[in-house]
Amino acid sequence: MQYGQTGGDGRGLSFGDPSVDPHNVRRFALRQAEDHSAALRQLRAGRKSGCWSWWIMPTPPFIKDGREVGTGMNREYAIRSEEEAKAYLSFGQLRQNYLEIMQAVADQLEAGTTPSSLLGIDVPRCEASVTFFRRMGEKAEDAKLSMLCERVQNLLASSDKGAKKRSLAGLPKRR
């Protein structure tokens, strides 16, 4: 089973009645219509160079000490509930776009590109996004989504451990 697709105009954009899109996931579709192709190209080339991660790799709000933190963009593009995540994954091309992006991330990490080389400062965002969407995929019995997110999680974790080992290997021994 996987999330279905809905939307108003064939591109996943719903117009008019807010009851059709009560979580305003259309905000993601509008931005992805502009940036998805470029984001995918950058990731497939091995390096994120644009500013698109908020709407391409959405996350729940970032909470620190019980308070939401982050920029206005973080807040605008945070997915605030499971219902909103379900709406996101069911709206137009958003699920398919997310799968394409995460497949490109997985391919690059498997080819040996480090997370920081690939994603720069957005490694934590990618980790938070795949953790969240893995859980959503598991709840919905969407095996394709949950397995791909788990794969990216594991690759990020193993790449991180390898990077730490490499950096420690260059340190002088303690006396």
For residues 39, 40, 42 and 46, what is the CA-based torsion angle, rounded to 10 degrees? 140
Which of left, alpha, beta for 65 (phi over 0: left; psi -120 to 50: alpha)? left
Residue 32 forms part of a structural domain: yes
Residue 112 forms part of a structural domain: yes
Residue 127 forms part of a structural domain: yes
Give the whole-angstrom CA distance, residue 86 versus residue 96: 13
Residue 2 forms part of a structural domain: no
Residues 6+ apart with CB under 8 A from 58: 28, 77, 78, 79, 88, 129
Q: Looking at the DSSP assignment, which residues form a beta bridge with residue 6?
A: 91
Q: How far is CA 174 from CA 104, 164, 168, 171, in A?
A: 41, 17, 12, 9
pLDDT per position in the chain (175 positions), as tens?
455 544 444 444 444 456 789 999 999 999 999 999 999 999 999 999 999 999 999 999 999 999 999 999 999 999 999 999 999 999 999 999 999 999 999 999 999 999 999 999 999 999 999 999 999 999 999 999 999 999 999 999 998 665 555 444 455 444 4
Residue 90 forms part of a structural domain: yes
Residue 4 forms part of a structural domain: no
Domain count, the chain: 1
Which CATH number covers residue 120? 1.25.40.380
Which residue segment(s) compose the domain that 41 sits in? 18-168
pTM of the entire predicted model: 0.84
Query: What three-state secondary structure class fits 68?
Result: strand
